[in-house]
Amino acid sequence: MGIYGRYTLVNDPRSAASIDYTATTVTVGSNVTQGATTITGTLNASGAFSTNLNPSSTGQVNISPTGTGTVTIAPVTTGNINNMNIGQTTRALMSASQVDGNYYRVNTYSDTSGTPGNATIDLGAGRCAFAAAGTAVVVTNSLCTATSIVMVTLRTVDATLKYVTATTAAGSFTVTGNAAATATTVFDWFLVRN
């Protein structure tokens, strides 16, 4: 339009707004130091194109649909997400065919060993305990499925309870000792959803 200012494009409310980018280039001038572009509603981008969001050193990219809105990123060709914290503040389910890295770390777990016996922990790792004379501990866990893998390590040495096995079910798993514990016996566990 060739004139500085703020413009509002109003679309016919009976149809969805659309912009054909095949022959259109939208450029933000180098002298623009503030302001933002807000899209209210649905933005659909499809076809053979490349989408690049490159904020400056002080810029941000926020995709935060409200209500029941969702964000779907599903390219045909595998891409990369680098230098990002995914699920850092609000966690959900993640599924991957391969996890590759120099180390693996779980920094969210719950410790209920101070109250020996059955526990409810909806995380991927935890610390629980057999009560004295106890032979099994049921951990209710919404992440667990019948085919999940649970790895258990005893943290304390007991006179009779020397080793454990874990069996999984939908919504819980059971850690069973080879014998009744003579005293409180603490164990750590790690769950792999399958």
User: What is the three-state SS of 29-84?
Assistant: CCCCCCCCCCCCCCCCCCCCCCCCCCCCCCCCCCCCCCCCCCCCCCCCCCCCCCCC
Residue 21 pLDDT? 47
Residue 132 pLDDT? 97
Residue 16 pLDDT? 53
Between strands 136-140 and 172-177, the pairing is antiparallel
Distance (Å, whole) CA 193 – CA 172:
12
Alpha helices in the chain (DSSP H): none
Instruction: Tell me the residue length of the chain.
Output: 194
Q: What is the pLDDT of residues 75-98, one digit of tens each?
A: 778 788 888 887 777 777 776 665
pTM score > 0.75 for this model? no
Distance (Å, whole) CA 17 – CA 56:
28
Residue 190 pLDDT? 92
Residue stretches of the chain with pLDDT short of 70: 1-59, 95-107
Residue 108 pLDDT? 73
